[in-house]
Amino acid sequence: MDIRIFAPHWGSNELAPQAFIERVLAAGFDGIEMSLPLDAAERDQWVRLIADAGLGLIVAQWETVFHPQFEAHKHALAQLLNNACAARPLLVNSHTGKDYYTPEQNEELIALADAISQEHGVAIVHEIHRSRFSGHPMLLLPYLQRLPGLHLTADLSHWCCACESLLEDQPQTLAATLPRVRHIHARVGHAQGPQVADFRAPEAAAELEAHLGWWDRIIALRKSEGAQRMTLTPEFGPAPYTFQLPYSQRPVSNAWELNVAMLNLLRSRYGRRR
């Protein structure tokens, strides 16, 4: 299987496009995961620079978080997903819906994403994330039962936080969810938050092992289904996620260094792309 590992633009937004791309190349990533400007000229500049560097592109759609009311959210989702698909990325990772929308409303948004995906011929997957329709296992499972074509980005760090556990007591949840995963956010959470301050620390060993086990299972499932490719994005976020918990304002790690360290761990575990 072709394992491709993408660099998150999140946390490096202050860099000029070429400077960020050079950072990504130096670290050895296969591509970039980022949101794209709605301005067509700016979007196309990013797409051209990324392609010229020989890197792949995954587009992240998260900006609907700024639209809490359903109709505004729906309108923004359509605009953002069409803009994302126009870039012809490998896939689009979408923050879709809200945990307080009705199931009918969230399914309307998922259907909208499906229609846009089919129109452009670009896969759209929906991220497991707090406050979205997938923010807790018991929120997501009914959608999985009703929507057999629903595909996900696994950021299970959010469920660790939402469930205050490493999901040890929910094997049935994982059994239903992991086969639907098409993209992984390789971020390590814990029972009180979506990101350990430093996954390399001995204190985070149990959390790291749990997440690696989930990623192993997802990749094994995709291989057994004959998938040719799997994508992962280390997605450790900047401050305050790098602060020492619970409430210190003192950073104990650097987000970019964490993402590069996770890249190297994933390479050693899963191999390089063919």
pLDDT value for 251: 76
Q: What is the pLDDT of residues 113-151, one digit of tens each?
A: 999 999 999 999 999 999 999 999 999 999 999 999 999
- Note the pLDDT of residue 62: 98
* Whole-number pLDDT of residue 241: 85
* Number of domains into which the chain is organized: 1
d(CA 72, CA 52): 36
What's the pLDDT tens digit per position in 221-261?
999 999 999 999 999 999 888 876 555 567 789 999 999 99
Q: Output the pTM of the full model.
A: 0.96
Opening angle at CA 263, ends 8 and 268, nearest 5? 160
CATH number, domain with residue 172: 3.20.20.150
Contacts of 264 (CB under 8 A, 6+ apart): none
Contact call for residues 150 and 123 (beta carbons, < 8 A): no
3-state class of 8 per DSSP?
A: strand
Which domain covers residue 216, as residue numbers? 2-270
5-28: pLDDT as tens digits: 999 999 999 999 999 999 999 999
- Is residue 90 pLDDT above 70, yes or no? yes
Q: How many residues does the chain have?
A: 274
Burial of residue 169 (CB within 10 Å: 0-12, 13-18, 19+) is: exposed
